[in-house]
Amino acid sequence: MHFGENYVQELLEKSKLLPRSIRWHFIGGLQSNKCKTLAEQVPNLWCVSSVDSEKKCNELEKGRRAAIEANAEVEPLRVMVQVNTSGEESKSGVEPKDALALCRHVVEKCPHLRLTGLMTIGAIARSKATTPETENEDFVCLRDVRDKVTEGLGWEQGKLELSMGMSADFEGAIAMGSDEVRVGSDIFGERPAKKDAVVVEKG
């Protein structure tokens, strides 16, 4: 069973309350100072999809190394490199031209991390204009970046996954080859603001 979470504190709390069989995906904005804690304290953290700097990679590496040293059953942490395909300053992610260097850093310098793919959020306007028949420029960009990164690493095509598409545009993303879509609001409704998000433990 795979669950996604985009607030660090909520994930830390939920992971203690819910079954260890859950495979958690962290898909939100991640601060460097939270990386080590997240990777170390959530042993069933399956993947972090929002990695966009060497510093974050290094902190995740430290945390996962500590978790594995404490419990040999803990697996290496899967990570996706987030790419800013829209060029918006408000968006996180590395520039497309810098994706290969960060991916290479994960592969060569972080033995307790496992590079699985690339992720983008993209521009809202492009998202709203996307249909199953209309190509989204952000999806085209991420697919192109994936192909260049795969070639640069000397990996076979298809080894790196694409995480793109949300509730408003997931059909178009799937048509463009997305391996993973994020459709939480379609399933659970809109998230409350971060300040209003509270984990309630029922007896």
- The whole-angstrom separation of Cα 50 and Cα 23 is 16
pLDDT, one tens digit per residue, over 150-194 is 999 999 988 999 988 765 666 667 777 777 776 555 455 565 565
Q: Name the phi and psi angles at 165, rounded to 5.
A: 105, 130
- pLDDT of 121: 83
Count the Cβ atoms, other than its own, within 10 Å of residue 148.
13
Between residues 67 and 158, which one has the greater pLDDT?
67
Ordered DSSP codes for 52-96: -SHHHHHHHHHHHHHHHHH-TTPPPEEEEEEB--S--TTS-SB-G
Three-state secondary structure call for residue 160: coil
Region 120-142 average pLDDT: 71
Residue 132 pLDDT greater than 60, yes or no: no
pLDDT at position 166 is 67
Q: Which residue has the higher pLDDT, 57 or 191?
A: 57
- Please check the confidence at residue 4 and state whether its pLDDT lies above 70: yes
Alpha carbon distance 4, 159 (integer Å): 22
Indicate if the pLDDT at residue 123 is higher than 80.
Answer: no
The token duo for 50 is 């929002």
Find which of 53-62, 137-146, 160-169, 189-198 is predicted with most confidence, using mean pLDDT.
Answer: 53-62
- Token pair, residue 97, equals 């031209």
**Residue 82 · residue 123 · CB < 8 Å:** no
Q: Model-level pTM?
A: 0.83
Q: Is 136 helix (H, G, I), strand (E, B) or coil?
A: coil
The CATH architecture of the domain made up of 2-192 is: Alpha-Beta Barrel (3.20)
Residue type, 81: V
Better-scored residue on pLDDT, 199 or 119: 119
**Mean pLDDT, to the nearest integer, of 87-99?**
90
CB 60 within 8 A of CB 36: yes
- Mean pLDDT, residues 46-55: 96
The domain locations on the chain are 2-192
